[in-house]
Structure 1
Amino acid sequence: MDGTDDNDVIVVGSGVVGLTTAVLLAEGGRRVRVWAREAAERTTSAVAGALWWPYRIEPAAPVGIWSLQSLALYEELASRPEETGVRMVDGVQGDTRLDDLGPWAAEVTGLRPTTRDEFDGPGVWARVPLIDMPVYLGWLRERLARAGGTVQARSAESLDEPLAEARCVVNCSGIGARSLVPDLSVRAVRGQLVLVENPGVRTWFASAGPSGQTSTYFFPQPGRLVLGGTAQEDDWSLEPDPVVAKAIVERCAAVRPEIAGARVLDHRVGLRPVRPAVRIERELRPDGRVLVHNYGHGGAGVTVAWGCAREAARLADEAAAS
C-alpha cells in the first residue's frame, strides 16, 4: 500500500476554475484537497471583471456549451446576490453583431441588437451575470467546506508532487501550467483595471479595441465601478502602469462622461492564462494514477467555470470507476 486512497483527489489551483471543480468533486462524494499557491483573493480570478461572456477562448463549439451550462448556474445564484455575489445586469456589448456570435447566443434570453439610442454602431444588448469576485470566491470556499473539502497553502514544482499524495490530481493551475506541466503554449495576457467610485452607472458596457491590445469596459460592482482594460500579450508585469490607467479612464469616459471625474479607489493587474485551446484531458500514468487537466481558459474562466468543472469531474470519476 502507498498510503493513498482511490477516493482522494487533489485539485491544484485555487482560482475560480479550481474551486468550482473541487466543489463538484466534493459534492460527488470525493475527498478533496485544493492546493493553493496563493489565496483565492490573490489569484487572477479575483482581478477579473467577471462579466459572463465568452471572450478570448477556444475552441468555439465546446466553449458555447460550457458557457451555457455555467450561465444556467449563475442565473440560479443571482437570486441570492448578497450571499453569492452574482447579479443579472443589463448592458451593451459594443461593436458586435448578433449574427457574428456563436450558436450559444440563440440560447441567451433577451439577447438582441442595440437601438441607436443605446449604442451608436453595431452592438448587442444583453442581461447576463455580473459577478463580484471577492464575494463569489468566498462563497465557493464555503460551499467546498460544507461538502467536506479543504484548501491547503501548498505549492508544487511538478505535478508529480500531488500525484505522490493522491491517486487522482486535477490540474487547474491556470497561468502556472506553463511551468508546472510544463506547457509552453500557455501565454500570459496582461489585463489592467482601474477601480473608481461609481458616479451612478447602473449598466455595463464592453467593446474590444481594433488592435486587440486594448478594450473599453465598465462594470458596476457593489461599492465601485470597474474600468478596463488591456490585453497585452506575453507581458508578465503585475505593476499597474499609470499611463495605461489614464488611457483606460479616458476611453471609458468617452462612453460615459461622468466617469471622468470619478475618484480612483485602486488599480489592479491580472494575467489571463491564454492557450490556443482549453485543455480538458485525462492522462493515465503507468502506475495507475490519474491526472486530469483543466486549464487554458484565457479571459473567460468565470464564463465557462461550471461547464468545464463538470467535464473535468466526469473524467476524474470515470477513471476512479474503471
Structure 2
Amino acid sequence: MSSPTGRKRVVVLGAGVVGLTTAVKIQEKGEYNVTIIAETFPTDPKTIMYTSLWAGAHHVSHAANDAKQMAIDRETFNVMWKLSEPGGAAEHCFLRVAQTDYLLDGRDECLDWMPDFKTLPQDALVPGTSAGTSFTTVNIDTPVYLPYLLARFLSRGGSIVRGSVQHISQVIEGGPGLFRRGRADPELVHALVICPGLGARTLGGVEDKDVYPVRGQVVIIRAPWIRSGRTVSHLEQGLWTYIIPRRSGDVILGGTKQDNDWYPAARPETTTDILERCLALCPEIVPPAIRAERQGTIEDVRALIVEEGCGFRPQRKGGIRLDVDWVPGRAGQSSVPMVFNYGHGGGGYQSSWGSASIALALLEKALASPASKS
C-alpha cells in the first residue's frame, strides 16, 4: 500500500549529525515522507551511545589529496558558511573564527580554498612544528546545531520514532509503526537509509566489521574571551591538540585518537594531559585577570571546567560507505533499496551535507530503477 499522499516512504536509521542531515536533505526534496528511527535524539541527556554531542566541532577538512572526500567536505563547508551568515536562521549554531593549524609532519592540508587562507612563515610557527596555515572557518555549537537540524526536519513534515532496531528486516516488514505502536504499518517502506554510526557493526542485515571506535576525550571549559581556534596535529601518529571556541562562550579542549578503545568515561590522567597540551598551545585560555598578574597554570584552567567526557568516533576501514544494497520487501513487494551513509569517523560534521547529497542521489536512482517497482 502506498502513502496516501503518493509520496514514497523512506526510513532513516540513526539521528546523529549524519542521520539528521541526510533526513533533512531527503525530506526537503518534497517527494518523500521521511521517518527517523533512533534510540537516542539530540535533545536527550548526553550519553556515550550518542557521539555527535561530544564532537568539537569545527570545519577543518582532513581530506587532503582525497579528491572525492574533499568535494564532500567542500560542499558541506559551503552549506555551513551560508547557514552561519549574520542574521540567518541558523547563525546561532555557529561561530565564524580565525583558525590556525600547526603541523608536526609538514604535510599539505590542501585547504587553500578556505576563506582568508595563508601559509605561515617559519618564524610564526610554534616550537616543534614544521608547517602552519591560517584561515577562517566555522565552529559548530553541537548542543544547539543538532536540535536545529531536528526542528528543521520536523517543520518540513518529517517524523521521528524512538526505537531499538535489531535487524533491518524489522523495519521492512513492520515499518515505523512496529516501534511506535507495536504493530505493523499498513503502508509499505519503499527505502531505508542506513546512518547508524558505530551501530553499523552490530545492526542485523549490515554488521559491518570494518567499523570501529576511535575514542576521543574532550574537556569543556567556560572561556568566552577565546574567539579564535588553534590546532596542532600529526594525524599519522594520532597526535591532536585543539582549542575550539563556541558561540556560547564554551571552549572545547582536546584531544585524543584512540583506536578500538571502548572506555566510556573521561580518564582523569587524560584530562590532565589535555589541559597541559592546550595551555602550552594557547596560554590565553587562562582568565585575563590572572594573566595580568602572573603566568597561568593548569589549575587555573581546571577551575574553568564545565564538563569532561568522551565519544566514540565511528571510523571505517576504507572510509565512508556510500552505496546501495537491495533486500527482499514485504510480502507482495519487490526489492527494497538500502542506501548506506556511515563510517565518517571524526569527520561527521565536516562531511555531513556533502555525503547527504550523495545519499539522496543514490536513493533517487535506486527508487527509479525497475528493481524497486512493486
TM-score (normalised: structure 2): 0.80
Which whole-Å deviations, capped at 9, do the CAs of 1:72-95 have from their partners, x for residues lacking one?
A: 101111113865412221111111
| TM-aligned CA deviation for residue 258 of structure 1 | 4.0
Alignment size in residue pairs: 319
Counterpart secondary structure, 2:226: coil
- Aligned pair in 2 of structure 1 residues 73, 285: CA closer, same or farther (>3 Å)? same
| TM-aligned CA deviation for residue 252 of structure 1 | 0.3
| TM-aligned CA deviation for residue 108 of structure 1 | 2.0
Structure-2 separation of matches of 1:207 and 1:275: 24
Residue 316 of structure 1: aligned partner: 363
Please tell me whether residue 157 in structure 1 is matched to residue 158 in structure 2.
Answer: no
| TM-aligned CA deviation for residue 321 of structure 1 | 2.2
Task: Identify the match of residue 77 of structure 2 among 71, 77, 82.
Answer: 71
Whether the 8 Å CA contact 2:64–2:70 is kept in 1: the answer is: no
Q: Give the superposed CA RMSD.
A: 2.3
Equivalences for residues 144-293 of structure 1 within 5 A: 144-164=153-173, 165=175, 166-180=189-203, 181-198=206-223, 200-209=225-234, 212-221=237-246, 222-259=248-285, 260=298, 261-262=300-301, 263-276=304-317, 277-286=319-328, 287-293=334-340
Structure-1 separation of matches of 2:75 and 2:258: 29
| TM-aligned CA deviation for residue 109 of structure 1 | 2.6
Task: Identify the match of residue 139 of structure 2 among 130, 154, 172.
Answer: 130
Structure-1 separation of matches of 2:77 and 2:235: 28
Which whole-Å deviations, capped at 9, do the CAs of 1:201-259 have from their partners, x for residues lacking one?
A: 22101112477344210111123111000001101111110000000000000112243
Deviation beyond 6 Å, 4+ runs, structure 1? 2-6, 96-99
Residue 21 of structure 1: aligned partner: 22
Whether the 8 Å CA contact 1:285–1:291 is kept in 2: the answer is: yes
- Aligned pair in 2 of structure 1 residues 86, 258: CA closer, same or farther (>3 Å)? closer
Residue 88 of structure 1: aligned partner: 96
Q: Which amino acid aligns with 2:11?
A: I
Higher gyration radius (CA)? 2
- Aligned pair in 2 of structure 1 residues 210, 170: CA closer, same or farther (>3 Å)? closer
TM-score (normalised: structure 1): 0.92
Equivalences for residues 100-139 of structure 1 within 5 A: 100-102=108-110, 105-115=111-121, 118-120=124-126, 121=129, 122-139=131-148
Structure-1 separation of matches of 2:8 and 2:235: 49
| TM-aligned CA deviation for residue 115 of structure 1 | 3.9
**Gaps (5+ residues) in structure 2?**
176-188, 286-297, 329-333, 370-374
Structure-2 separation of matches of 1:83 and 1:151: 25
**Gaps (5+ residues) in structure 1?**
none
- Aligned pair in 2 of structure 1 residues 235, 138: CA closer, same or farther (>3 Å)? same
Moved more, 165-174 or 254-263: 254-263
